[in-house]
Chains A and B, each alone.
Chain A
Amino acid sequence: MSVEGPLPGLVLSWQLDGLSLFFALVVLSISAVTTLYAIGHARHQHGFPGSGLLYALFVVAMLAVVVAGDAFTFLLAWETMSLVSFGLVLTDHRRASVRETAWAYLVMSHAATAFVVGAFLLLARTTGSLVFADWTARAVVLDPAVATLVFGLGLVGFGTKAGMIPLHVWLPRAHPVAPAHVSALMSGVMIKLGIYGLVRLSFDWLAPGPAWWGAIVLTLGATSAVLGVLYALMQHDLKRLLAYHSVENIGIILLGIGVALVGRSQGLPAVVAIGLAAALFHVANHAAFKALLFMGAGAIDGAVGTREIERLGGLIRRMPLTALCFLIGSAAISGLPPLNGFASEWLTFQSLLTLGRSAAEPQTALLPLLAGGALALTAALAVACFVKAFGVSFLALPRSAEAAAAREAGALELIAMAILALACIALGLGAAPALSLIGQLVPSAAAPLTGQTLGLGSVGSGRLVVPNVALVLASLAAVAVVLPRVLGPVRARVAETWACGVTLQPIHEYTATAFAKPIRLMFRDIVRPVRDVGIVHRAGTRFVASVHYRSHIAPVFERYVYLAITGRLVAGARVVRRAQNGSLQTYLAYVFAAVIVALLIAR
């Protein structure tokens, strides 16, 4: 379908196939819930008057990206999405740190778009068309070298939007400063459009490439997953912690895509089907629990006035419903049965194992199997991270007066969170029907790849029937409680917590920093913790007057990758600056020289 654009001769064309439909479903369902939340959360908001309009435009732009039918329409929607989200990140624009963050986001978004434009121009040049359908039809005629270049440009461009390591640095900065409903949408949905672009590019517009494309995606996925969750564990700002978990989950999604790419290059349709299904299912699941958790973090921020988890605590008594929803979201993102995160991580494990078993050469078989180890490490660290996030924020005693005075979130916010919490349960218990729905949608999008309908019952030789396992678990838990009753009734007496003989104070509790310490030390070569301890003595004595302790982690990527790049750019600019002396005569001389050179070339 195409419509006349606002300018003469400008035609916007649209397409709606299974893949578009799937992503459109994610965009629309999550944004419906976050809008509900935004209405309830408005009392905590102090943005500029136009931010509501920007928010609406943001949703429309995301929808337009997934239904765009040609390169021009896509880029128009893509740029609108980036610019509008820049405006939304700037909501709290009176703070200098927010403006700085938004600026970094803008620069990285545009660098990403430049790579996407590069890929599109190459495709347009070789296929002679801007229409996506023509790219699909003429994919096979593409020269392998050009195809690799297109894939590389697309991977960098779409990977930046998705928040893949090492292109992730904008994400943990931009997401925390935006309002809760915007972070929920950016983390839950917008970064998935990078995944949409990557899937479109590598399964629709390009013919099957060499296996190393998939190997690169697998490696990037495993790296993003492990480093994302490790950095998340080191954060104390709840929203920043969640933002790093987005990097982790994008890594898990990339594992599925990597498996599918290797499978496609080796002509293994079953592997492609499982890999793609795992990736897309995780896209939907991550959208549900990440939006839920960001809304929960927003509710805490609204009630306590801080997202610093060291100042929270005891919120389960003050905000019980928020706590329940946040607990469900935490269990889901940690990949615990019977929730949705477990179902898609299980499928990702199966896809890795299936590829490992069916790949022809040992090196192609080993990579996915070892990536399985990385995914297990990720899952276990995610459990650690959410025990910390939920335990320190919601359990035990409040660590600040603000946390002690917290009140439950409003009705609309609670309804929005409850909807997504129920979605996490439903997508877990109903994983099989959800997957067969994805299976029906996706074959039409990636037509030559998936012929079979996916159900969970038996993938490869793995087995997972979530509702039955959940039922057995629930009944055995009940038996464990009821059976000891044959020994007679017992009572429970309420008493103090044992604190070595003194009354328990919040200061006795384990802090989030202490909780993460064993992991911080075990992985110190990666996260590079920096500790700064200062002891001030009373004048002339050895008595300690005060001690200050600060602990943070070195920003490795910013320091060693980005600072190196920006440093070179600035140095280059300094060199160029010498030519700029501000004198009109000099510039006229430059113009004259340029004309002479142009004439010489065009002679």
Chain B
Amino acid sequence: MNEAANVGLAVIHIALLVALAPGLSGVIKRMKAVLQGRRGPPVLQPYFDLLKLLRKDAVVSEHATAIFRWAPAVYAGCIATAALLVPVLWSTAPLAAWGDAIVLVGLFALARFMLALAGLDTGSAFGGMGSSREVAVAALAEPALLLVLFAVAWRTGGSDLSGASSWIIADGVAAFAPSQLLALVALVIVVIAETGRVPVDNPDTHLELTMIHEGMLLEYSGRPLGILVWASLLKQIVLFALVVALFFPFGIAATPSELPVALGAFVLKLGALAVVMSLVESSTAKLRILRVPELLGAASALAMLALVAEVVVG
């Protein structure tokens, strides 16, 4: 593959994820509404909200510094770079030659660092509360995520995400060892925590007693808020794509003619994960913040079990 085609694929890759991200959120919201016996907003509502935010003037705190002003750009840049590490349509992710699963974890950490600092920057207690809780929850989610990645890497030959996907496709159904199912459950719990969903965080509320992610964004408004919200939605779709790439990569394209099929398969798989998420969110209650460690501890324990099963049983 030549250079121009590579760049073209990368642009398609990122444009697709950015374009689908709000829609995924709309679908989950709609499905939750249906499950809860409500009508719910239209699926396209997140697009309208984002376009409106991006057109609005911003109000910036008088205490805000460069950290607050730069955070949306750095956050979005990190998440978008991480998006390029996960294979979505093409079997090799655009940045596969330059970064692996650990780079993905590092980019998420940089995004979190910047946003948590921005939460503290304006001096608002809500921002501080959000930052404090975000870093605490992430401290428990990150080991679980890494253990899952190690469990997959141990099986598939290394920390390269595209390599892992290709290996699983080559292995076919045999890839679904019990250890991999344990790792899958652990990863889904991590995704729930990292995307700020019930039972860890509630994406639908601004109530200060419960909020984590929203707390950090509270002082943002207008276009910067639009960029941050869109980037958070991108983070959600990247994490979903990670689940797909590590456990259900079947249907991904190896030749240009397979691209339409790959697109259809990817959208279907996202839809299936959206159903799972809306079921989880509708059937569980939000945990008290101090009970969250038990859930994420369970994720780490499952991931460790996956590793043990992987290494001992093979």
Name A residues whose Cβ lies closer than 8 Å to a Cβ of B.
314, 316-317, 331, 334-337, 342, 346, 349-350, 353, 356-357, 362, 365-366, 369-370, 372-377, 379-381, 383-384, 386-387, 390-392, 395-397, 460-465, 468-469, 472-481, 484, 487-488, 490-499, 504, 506, 508-510, 514-519, 521-522
Q: When the two chains form their complex, are residues B289 and A518 in contact, meaning their CB atoms are under 8 A apart?
A: yes
Q: When the two chains form their complex, are residues A495 and B61 in contact, meaning their CB atoms are under 8 A apart?
A: yes
| Interchain residue pairs with CB less than 8 A apart (21) | A357-B153, A369-B150, A383-B109, A383-B112, A383-B113, A383-B116, A384-B138, A387-B113, A387-B117, A464-B102, A469-B99, A469-B103, A473-B78, A477-B77, A480-B73, A481-B76, A487-B54, A493-B60, A494-B61, A515-B128, A518-B290
Please choose the segment from B27-35, B154-162, B237-245, B269-277 that sits at the chain A interface, where 4 or more of its residues have CB less than 8 A away: B154-162
Q: Is B38's beta carbon under 8 Å from chain A?
A: no
Counting from the closest, the 4 A-B pairs by CB-CB distance are: A461-B158, A510-B128, A477-B77, A396-B123
* Residues on B with beta carbons closer than 8 Å to the beta carbon of A314: 63
Closest B residue by C-beta to A342? B106
Closest A residue by C-beta to B148? A373
* Residues on B with beta carbons closer than 8 Å to the beta carbon of A510: 120, 125, 127-129, 131-132
Closest B residue by C-beta to A482? B73
* Residues on B with beta carbons closer than 8 Å to the beta carbon of A334: 109, 113
Task: Give the residue of A362, A384, A488, A506 whose beta carbon is less than 8 angstroms from that of B311.
Answer: A362
Task: Give the residue of A353, A464, A474, A514 whose beta carbon is less than 8 angstroms from that of B103.
Answer: A464
Q: How far is the CB of B56 from chain A (nearest CB, A)?
A: 7
Task: Give the residue of B51, B116, B121 whose beta carbon is less than 8 angstroms from that of A396.
Answer: B121
Q: When the two chains form their complex, are residues B99 and A464 in contact, meaning their CB atoms are under 8 A apart?
A: yes
Within B37-75, which residues are at the interface with A (CB < 8 Å)? 51, 54-63, 65-67, 72-74
* Residues on B with beta carbons closer than 8 Å to the beta carbon of A519: 135-136, 139
How far is A42 from B227 in the complex, measured between Cα atoms in Å?
A: 47
Q: When the two chains form their complex, are residues B62 and A465 in contact, meaning their CB atoms are under 8 A apart?
A: no
* Residues on B with beta carbons closer than 8 Å to the beta carbon of A463: 96-100, 103, 159-160
Interface secondary structure of B, over-half rule: helix
Closest B residue by C-beta to A313? B123
Task: Give the residue of A469, A472, A522 whose beta carbon is less than 8 angstroms from that of B136.
Answer: A522
Q: When the two chains form their complex, are residues B150 and A356 in contact, meaning their CB atoms are under 8 A apart?
A: yes
Q: When the two chains form their complex, are residues A369 and B154 in contact, meaning their CB atoms are under 8 A apart?
A: yes
Q: When the two chains form their complex, are residues A377 and B142 in contact, meaning their CB atoms are under 8 A apart?
A: yes
How far is A517 from B81 in the complex, measured between Cα atoms in Å?
A: 32
Interface size class of B (residues with CB under 8 A): 35 or more
Q: When the two chains form their complex, are residues B311 and A365 in contact, meaning their CB atoms are under 8 A apart?
A: yes
Closest B residue by C-beta to A515? B132
How far is A516 from B160 in the complex, measured between Cα atoms in Å?
A: 34
* Residues on A with beta carbons closer than 8 Å to the beta carbon of B144: 373
Q: When the two chains form their complex, are residues B63 and A497 in contact, meaning their CB atoms are under 8 A apart?
A: yes
Interface secondary structure of A, over-half rule: helix
Q: How far is the CB of B113 from chain A (nearest CB, A)?
A: 5
Q: How far is the CB of A410 from chain B (nearest CB, A)?
A: 23
How far is A509 from B223 in the complex, measured between Cα atoms in Å?
A: 26
How far is A472 from B124 in the complex, measured between Cα atoms in Å?
A: 33
Q: When the two chains form their complex, are residues A462 and B304 in contact, meaning their CB atoms are under 8 A apart?
A: no
Q: When the two chains form their complex, are residues A521 and B290 in contact, meaning their CB atoms are under 8 A apart?
A: yes
How far is A519 from B131 in the complex, measured between Cα atoms in Å?
A: 12
* Residues on A with beta carbons closer than 8 Å to the beta carbon of B147: 369-370, 372-373, 376
Task: Give the residue of B80, B95, B117, B223 whose beta carbon is less than 8 angstroms from that of A395.
Answer: B117
Q: Is B143's beta carbon under 8 Å from chain A?
A: yes
Closest B residue by C-beta to A488? B55
Q: Is B89's beta carbon under 8 Å from chain A?
A: no
Q: How far is the CB of B148 from chain A (nearest CB, A)?
A: 10
Q: Is B177's beta carbon under 8 Å from chain A?
A: no
Q: Is B21's beta carbon under 8 Å from chain A?
A: no
Given contacts A373-B143, A504-B123, contact A487 B51 (CB under 8 A): yes
* Residues on A with beta carbons closer than 8 Å to the beta carbon of B65: 316-317, 395
How far is A373 from B52 in the complex, measured between Cα atoms in Å?
A: 42
How far is A462 from B157 in the complex, measured between Cα atoms in Å?
A: 9
Most chain-B CB neighbours within 10 Å: which of A346, A373, A495, A506? A373
Q: How far is the CB of B51 from chain A (nearest CB, A)?
A: 7
Given contacts A366-B307, A496-B61, contact A392 B120 (CB under 8 A): yes
Q: When the two chains form their complex, are residues A346 and B102 in contact, meaning their CB atoms are under 8 A apart?
A: yes
How far is A590 from B40 in the complex, measured between Cα atoms in Å?
A: 95
How far is A470 from B143 in the complex, measured between Cα atoms in Å?
A: 24
Task: Give the residue of A335, A349, A370, A377 whose beta carbon is less than 8 angstroms from that of B304.
Answer: A370
Q: When the two chains form their complex, are residues B102 and A462 in contact, meaning their CB atoms are under 8 A apart?
A: yes
Q: When the two chains form their complex, are residues B97 and A465 in contact, meaning their CB atoms are under 8 A apart?
A: yes
Q: When the two chains form their complex, are residues B153 and A380 in contact, meaning their CB atoms are under 8 A apart?
A: no
Q: When the two chains form their complex, are residues B311 and A366 in contact, meaning their CB atoms are under 8 A apart?
A: yes
Q: When the two chains form their complex, are residues B154 and A336 in contact, meaning their CB atoms are under 8 A apart?
A: no
Q: When the two chains form their complex, are residues A473 and B81 in contact, meaning their CB atoms are under 8 A apart?
A: yes
Given contacts A369-B154, A391-B120, contact A484 B73 (CB under 8 A): no
Task: Give the residue of B51, B76, B129, B303 whose beta carbon is less than 8 angstroms from that of A477.
Answer: B76
* Residues on A with beta carbons closer than 8 Å to the beta carbon of B290: 518, 521-522
Most chain-B CB neighbours within 10 Å: which of A461, A479, A508? A461
Q: When the two chains form their complex, are residues B139 and A397 in contact, meaning their CB atoms are under 8 A apart?
A: no
Q: When the two chains form their complex, are residues A469 and B95 in contact, meaning their CB atoms are under 8 A apart?
A: yes
How far is A280 from B169 in the complex, measured between Cα atoms in Å?
A: 38
* Residues on B with beta carbons closer than 8 Å to the beta carbon of A337: 103, 106-107, 110
How far is A474 from B70 in the complex, measured between Cα atoms in Å?
A: 12
Q: When the two chains form their complex, are residues B98 and A476 in contact, meaning their CB atoms are under 8 A apart?
A: no
Given contacts A353-B154, A383-B109, contact A468 B219 (CB under 8 A): no
* Residues on A with beta carbons closer than 8 Å to the beta carbon of B102: 346, 349-350, 462, 464
* Residues on A with beta carbons closer than 8 Å to the beta carbon of B195: none
How far is A493 from B223 in the complex, measured between Cα atoms in Å?
A: 12
Q: Is B146's beta carbon under 8 Å from chain A?
A: yes
